[in-house]
Structure 1
Amino acid sequence: MRLHNKVIIITGSCTGIGKAIAERCVAEGAKVIVHGLEPQPGEVLVAKLGKAKARLHIEDLTANGAPQRLVEVAVTAFGKLNAVVNNAALIATSNINSTDSHLFRRMLEVNTIAPFALIKAALPYLSRTRGCVLNIGSVNAWSGEPDMLAYSVSKGALMTLTRNLGDTLHRENGVRVNQINPGWVLTEKELQNKQEQGFEEDWYATLPPAYAPAGRILRPAEIAAAAVYWLADESGPVSGQVVDLEQYPFMGRNLPKDSATLLHLLATRPVPH
């Protein structure tokens, strides 16, 4: 087991990518703190994983003192802390015209400041175990789409945080910090979003090759498999690194030039993690 006896906090893990990471971590021998805003799916997941392997904490991470309370839940339940996975995120479409200061601040609070605050709260315990942090970003961190302005900026800031702390915390505290940037992932929320937009139930079965050369998009379990490497000791001393998880190069792509294909791509534009 690659994560034997490790204690890991996974934010935003009641559903989606976070849930898949929690399931895979337990399968690899870890104990996890499941966190999110949705009690019902969280309770179902903890019951599935077992009380000996999982605890649930429901709270908005931007609330005053929330990061400290989440860390306390882990240490009280399992006696130590080996890793933090910052997965929780606010996703909203917005561009230069529709983004106001309130939305921008909220996006940064959830996607950048809350992960920072949790790392800071967890640092004394991670230092004792020479643990690690894994931030879950997005390929949109590199520039983003016109209609994902605030979200993309928040993930870009998270990427800089990863590189900065990945250097300083590794040297000063023995704590590694890395990040994975998922592309388009078939989560429960993405299925719901597309149905609400009027797409057929099996829309993901007939995706244009420009977005899905493999004929499908990524699955949460595939992101979870990648996460285990960074949480396990086998990733060794590597720190301050960001890895994109997508089936094509996100930057410098040559998209089809015919307008019909481009219109189809825009109509099926993904809502990334």
Structure 2
Amino acid sequence: MVDRFHGKVVIVTGAASGIGEATARRFVAEGAKAALIDRDEASLEKVANSLPADQVMVQTADVSDSRAVDGMVAAVIGRFGRLDVIVNNAGVHEGGDPASITDEKWRKVMSTDIDGVFYGCRAALPHLEKTKGSIVNTASVSGTGGDWGMSPYNAAKGAVVNLTRALALDLGKKGIRVNGVCPSLTRTGMTEDMMDDKKLLTKFAERIPLGRVCEPQEVAAVIAFLASDDASFMTGANVAVDGGVSASNGQPPQE
């Protein structure tokens, strides 16, 4: 594997599982020092213990709490002395019929999936300006089009998509690049129940041109690319990692 991040420091939120875990592993494999952030301390420690101790640190934090995010970034600077990349990946999901969505469910999604992304970007900015660093936000294909029964998640991820664009405009002259990834259905803890539903997976396979769900490592590879100098002239992009879902206009295949 290439060594694109030797000497670089990366924060990955939601690093205890799924896309976040795969992303942290990818950065470490490419030479980075990585700060693994999550609310799930036990799972976070398990991931960290499987990686080289001199390359990782763990920090429990709830990204929906701006003070916790500020403290998280301060702790990383205190340990590693710099910051080159932040991957705002932490997310939650709530859905259902719009009439049944409570204030609590709505705020749970918004506070983590969009507030947490903004807080991470804001806290990282002074340090990324020094290193001419990079931000990568985990959005979703659910942020580029609607789903049935997923209005809070759609709204939050749509906000991440456009926040990514807006920050790219505001931060470009500071030398900071801001990009996002938009995965389709990915094999993670959040989708574990879906992975056991063979009928549902068949429906997804029919709509995904590549005919299968995404693996976390496949999203991590794109995140690492966007954060690297290989993507040095890319900013404001929301890259579909969706097996071709977004290539369709929604009409059924003609057999």
Q: What is the TM-score of this pair, normalised by structure 2?
A: 0.92
> Residue by residue, what CA displacement relative to the aligned partner does 1:163-210 show, whole Å, maximum 9, x if unpaired?
000111112x21111101000111244234544xxx36x986x66641
Residue 41 (structure 1) shift = 1.6
Aligned-partner SS, 1:255? coil
Aligned-partner SS, 1:46? helix
Does the 8 Å CA contact 1:11/1:86 hold for their aligned counterparts? yes
Aligned-residue RMSD, C-alpha: 2.1
User: What is the CA–CA distance in structure 2 between the aligned matches of 1:248 and 1:52, rounded to whole Å?
Assistant: 39
Structure 2 equivalent of residue 255 of structure 1: 252
Structure 1 equivalent of residue 74 of structure 2: 72
Structure 1 equivalent of residue 19 of structure 2: 17
Give the structure with the higher percent helix. Answer: 2
Task: Indicate the structure (1 or 2) with the bigger Cα radius of gyration.
Answer: 1
Q: What 5-or-longer segments of structure 2 have no aligned partner? A: none
Residue 95 (structure 1) shift = 3.0
Structure 1 equivalent of residue 236 of structure 2: 240
Quote the sequence identity (%): 29
Change (3 A) 1:129 1:99: same
User: What is the CA–CA distance in structure 2 between the aligned matches of 1:226 and 1:7, rounded to whole Å?
Assistant: 18
Q: Which moved more, 1:235-244 or 1:121-130?
A: 235-244
Does the 8 Å CA contact 1:33/1:56 hold for their aligned counterparts? yes
Structure 1 equivalent of residue 179 of structure 2: 178
Structure 1 equivalent of residue 162 of structure 2: 160
Aligned-partner SS, 1:29? coil
User: What is the CA–CA distance in structure 2 between the aligned matches of 1:93 and 1:121, rounded to whole Å?
Assistant: 29
Structure 1 equivalent of residue 150 of structure 2: 148
Does the 8 Å CA contact 1:17/1:224 hold for their aligned counterparts? yes
Structure 1 equivalent of residue 188 of structure 2: 187
Q: 1:126 is matched with which residue: 122, 125, 128?
A: 128
Q: What 5-or-longer segments of structure 1 have no aligned partner? A: 259-273
> Residue by residue, what CA displacement relative to the aligned partner does 1:59-101 show, whole Å, maximum 9, x if unpaired?
2112251111110121111110001000000111233212233
Does the 8 Å CA contact 1:15/1:188 hold for their aligned counterparts? yes
Does the 8 Å CA contact 2:92/2:112 hold for their aligned counterparts? yes
Structure 2 equivalent of residue 261 of structure 1: none
